[in-house]
Amino acid sequence: MPDPPRTGIQTASHWGVYSVQPDGGAVTPFAADPAPSGLIHGLPAIVRDELRIDRPYVRAGFLTETPADPHRRGSDSFVPMSWDDALDLVARELGRVKTTFGNRAIYGGSYGWASAGRLHHAPSLLKRFLGQFGGFVDKIGNHSYGAAFGIMPHVIGRQDINKLVTPWSSIVDHGELVVMFGGAHAKNSQVGGGGAVLHEYRAGMERAAAAGIRFVNISPARADLDPLLDPEWISIRPHGDVAAMLGIAHSLLEEGLCDLGFLHSHCEGFPIFRDYVLGRSDGVAKDPCWAAERSGIAADAILSLARRMARSRTLVTVSWSVQRARHGEQPIWMAVALAAMLGQIGRLGCGFSIGFGAVNGSTASVPDDIPRPTFPIGRNPVADAVPVALVGEMLLDPGGRFEHDGGTFTYPDIRLLYSAGGNPFHHNGDLNRFMAGWRRPETIIVHEHWWGPAARFADIVLPAATTMERNDILAADGQRHFLAMRRVIDPVGEARSDFDIFTALAARLGFVDAYAEGRDEMQWLRHMYDVARPLAIQRGHAMPCFDDFWQDGQVEFSAWREPEALLAAFRADPVGHKLATPSGKIELYSATIASFGYDDCPPHPSWIDHPEWLGGSLAHRFPLHLLSNQPATRLHSQLDPAPLSRASKIDGREPIRIHGDDARRRNISTGDVVRVFNDRGAFAAAAVIDDDLHPGTVQIATGAWYDPINPGELGSLERHGNPNVVTPATGSSRLSQGSAAQTSLVEIELFTDAPRPAPFSGPPFSSP
């Protein structure tokens, strides 16, 4: 008789739940997952790769030079150290900086998705550690939806952007027309911020298609909405969304298609916004012809769409990518304004939705009252925090001033940067300028799994264990499961979990009792679970004891909740259920924002011109608009060396898509190596002809590991295809200071003598 099939040991990730054999054998997807992501094979394939960091390392110059030359970061060799020596060194550096400069000189705003578990979330572990050490400078906002995060409190009194998404069930059962600015690419639903369990996005699409829901994809890329939905594609010029929306708004006003009763009873400032749209306040009517000149959409198409929206139950959606741009607050605000003009906010299947399908689980109907096991971060005694888009400027300009949401603040003087669970060379823009700032701190410490850019450009590198090498609990928002993430293999080399690293450091610095509270990994998991369990039971959710959960490997909560329309209670009773805005209503004009006096974020939704778009003054020098979208073959820069990501490249370079007309003018063919450049820098990529792009648009996925030819030289060509070499590092506006990565004009040329990408490898090493 053959042996029964082995299912392996269950673990989980941002991209799915799976079981894997300890010997690195077969990977088995979670049985209940209807459409597992291919990304689940990535970590088992490279968990023991030669790129793994096997022990602590310190940059050679950091050990031998006094003071150490930060310009050698990225090109210096590394010296292996014992854990005791490395931890002693980290503790000394933290103590030195705190004593000499104070805790305001420590930046711990570590940014990144880290891992999916509730305990081993590296940025949270770091923040608890640094908070108990006396505090640290933190970050504000995020790169995903920073502009929406900043504007929505002023518009509807809410900042919970992840909950401003209409579920598929509401659309299928109650909707008719979905108008999507930026589309909703299915690849984004592979991954979830706290982890993914069930991949049900395609099933939602199938139900919507069967129900006859009509979809309109207003995007520079046809691929931004799946053909399964039989969508109408309206090709739009990048940055043209607000213009198109204003043209729709003008049409609704001129044709008497607005719900004036709703605008009067539920909205603040509509007359001011109306006068702007009609041109009474500035002499410029935002009619369809005006909108066509800026958006690239024909005027009659704008008018026709406005009429269809008015006679249908219409949902207006805006992708996160659209607001990730200069003045990115405006398309978010305009989407709310259009939904308000239609009078459909608060109805099922209608209104507005921000980030539809942006992450796994966002469109599911899952109870939102399930208490999640939580590792307490604690208090940060330092009040200073900097918007994520301005971290590079913070490093480069200590003492400089910046504005944010009505306030004026000073950049701290950072002497020590501690990063865990992220890749600063993925999410920050204008990497050459960022690198100049990266050279200013005296000490940079990172926890890393592999010799990626974060490790190679650090001073002290501590090897961190992966999800396969530790125990944890996946219990993400938007998921109806808790999953046991079991340790599959022993840590590779001398890797340790982030929790164990910080516990050892806390012992050296005198606060281990406060940090670990006398608990090890499994004791913390039990404690976190046991805190959540009585709350869950109190709210009517069955939740077994921890031992039964860990034995069974999962808890499944109610699979269904009757969807409630966003702002339904407010619609029904705008007085009894006021919004948390100054007026208690939806603010189409904000007196608060008006008081800030920002020309880059006026007090009502507005079109704001900018030099860096295809209609701007820079377009004569850089006539192509670069869009850097989320990758399909990895999560951000995670798993870039894994087989799936490598297979998506062309001769080791990231593909860049270009319209055939733009390619022919440059004598470029599919497979050609091209140089992509602007005044901020240049990178090499491999061209792919794609006529399903708006002319003048090029598109490349983010996440290629940063690979400059000469790491010690600012402005050195990046040869792997990292678009953030050319994206801006400015904020979307002074209001939110969100990421503006999608506001990037470039030129592309054939690169006949392009240097080959360096193979994925570790840095040079020196003897201790």
User: DSSP readout, 22-76?
Assistant: TTS--EEE-TT-SS--GGGGHHHHHTT-TTB--S-EEEHHHHHSSS--GGGTTTS
Active-site residue, from 15, 18, 107, 113: 113
Question: Of 357, 430, 424, whose CA–CA distance to 637 is shortest?
Answer: 424
Cβ atoms of 321 and 732 within 8 Å: the answer is no
pLDDT of residue 1: 33
| Annotation marks residue 320 as catalytic | no
pLDDT of residue 365: 76
Measure Cα distances from 251 to 233, 236, 261, 297 in Å.
Answer: 20, 18, 18, 14
- Pairwise pLDDT comparison (25 vs 484), residue with the higher score: 484
pLDDT of residue 2: 37
pLDDT of residue 344: 97
pLDDT at 5 over 50: no
- Percent of the chain predicted with pLDDT > 70: 99
214 band by pLDDT with thresholds 50, 70 and 90: very high
Report d(CA 105, CA 88) in Å as an integer: 20
- Pairwise pLDDT comparison (486 vs 193), residue with the higher score: 486
Cβ atoms of 8 and 21 within 8 Å: the answer is yes
Six token digits for residue 256: 């008497």
What is the torsion angle, in degrees rounded to the nearest 10, for the CA atoms of residue 390, residue 392, residue 396 and residue 398?
A: 40
pLDDT at 497 over 50: yes
Average pLDDT over residues 622-646: 96
Report d(CA 601, CA 598) in Å as an integer: 5
Q: Which residues contact 207 (CB under 8 A, 6 or more apart)?
A: 168, 172
Q: Which has the minimum average pLDDT: 68-77, 254-263, 270-279, 569-578?
A: 68-77
Average model confidence (pLDDT) across the chain: 95
Question: Of 374, 371, 366, 359, whose CA–CA distance to 473 is shortest?
Answer: 374
The DSSP element (H or E) to which 139 belongs, if any, is strand 138-140
pLDDT of residue 762: 82
Cβ atoms of 133 and 380 within 8 Å: the answer is no
Active-site residue, from 107, 111, 233, 706: 111
Report d(CA 164, CA 359) in Å as an integer: 13
pLDDT digits 0-9 by tens, 685-738: 999 999 999 999 999 999 999 999 998 888 999 999 999 999 999 999 999 999
| Annotation marks residue 113 as catalytic | yes
Average pLDDT over residues 501-530: 98
Measure Cα distances from 246 to 142, 290, 594 in Å.
Answer: 27, 9, 20
- Percent of the chain predicted with pLDDT > 90: 90
Measure Cα distances from 191 to 36, 194, 361, 733 in Å.
Answer: 11, 9, 9, 28
pLDDT of residue 6: 55
pLDDT at 252 over 50: yes
pLDDT digits 0-9 by tens, 64-112: 988 889 999 999 999 999 999 999 999 999 999 999 999 999 999 889 8
Report d(CA 368, CA 479) in Å as an integer: 9
Average pLDDT over residues 384-408: 97
pLDDT of residue 560: 59
Cβ atoms of 687 and 671 within 8 Å: the answer is yes
Instruction: Cis check for the bond before 623: say yes or no (omega within 30 of 0).
Output: no
pLDDT of residue 24: 67
pLDDT of residue 578: 98
4 band by pLDDT with thresholds 50, 70 and 90: very low
pLDDT digits 0-9 by tens, 558-605: 865 677 899 999 999 999 999 999 999 999 999 999 999 999 999 999
pLDDT of residue 559: 62
pLDDT of residue 561: 64
Report d(CA 502, CA 598) in Å as an integer: 42
Q: Could you give the maximum distance between any two Cα atoms of the chain, in Å?
A: 85
Q: Which residue reads 């999560």 in tokens?
A: 635
Q: What angle do CA 181, 335, 203 make, to 5 degrees?
A: 50
| Residue-by-residue DSSP string for 375-435 | ------S---EEEGGGHHHHHH-TT-EEEETTEEEE----SEEEEES--HHHH-SSHHHHH
Q: What is the pTM of this model?
A: 0.96
Q: What share of the chain is helix, strand, coil (3-state, %, to 5)?
A: 35, 20, 50
Average pLDDT over residues 631-651: 96
> First and final CA of the chain: distance in angstroms?
55
